[in-house]
Amino acid sequence: MKRYKIYFLLLFAIGLTVSPNLLAQKDLQISKVFEQYGKKKGSVMVELSNEALGDYDLTLFKSIIIRNDPSAAKLTRICLSKDEEGAKKIKQVIANGVPTSIYLQLPRKGKDNRLILFNESRSENRLTLIYIETVNDSENVLKLLLKKK
């Protein structure tokens, strides 16, 4: 019994050292979208952290583009509706009663500000979901990100 307690403590210690970025994202419902559709055909998933995003001063950038998958769109909207709780809605565009564009500013996790950007194009059967973590001000980051193309 003592041996098992020791193993448990060791595993717990290892778990605590897992990157805080992973922990910050894992509590969100949208992580399901990345997990389920990230490596599927018809999807493009990107994950960038720290070094590669030096120009943009972001801690974490994670995006997914899914084409021709209505079930993915449905899941994404459900996840967003749950992650919206407690979040600040920066922007929302609704077309025919369905949100097509949503920008959310999530509650801070430690020193990181967190943003979710969502866009759905029905005409092109495509949805785009982006998750960002940054230590900088959300306003400045959005200006920078969305102006640079």
Partner 1 sequence: MLKIKNMRKRINIKEAEALLEKYYEGNTSQAEEKRLYNFLLQDHLPERFEADRALFGFFANQKQKPKAVIIPLMRWASIAAVMVGIMFFAKTWVSDNPTNIAYINGQKYTDIQVVKEQAMSSLRLVSSLDEVKECVKSLNDKDLIESQLAIFNDIH
Residues in the site for partner 1, rule: CB under 8 A? Answer: 6, 9-10, 13-14, 16-19, 38-52, 61, 63-65, 88-92, 94, 101, 103, 105, 117-119, 121, 126, 128, 130, 138-139, 142-143, 145-149
> Residue 130: what are its φ and ψ, rounded to 5°?
-130, 135
CA dist 89 and 45 (Å) reads 24
CA dist 56 and 134 (Å) reads 9
Q: Which is nearer to partner 1, 27 or 139 (CB)?
A: 139
State whether residue 66 is helix, strand or coil: strand
Residue 94 Cβ vs partner 1, minimum distance, rounded to whole Å: 7
- State the number of CA atoms in the 13 A half-sphere of 25 facing the CB: 24
Residue 75 Cβ vs partner 1, minimum distance, rounded to whole Å: 18
Residue 83 Cβ vs partner 1, minimum distance, rounded to whole Å: 16
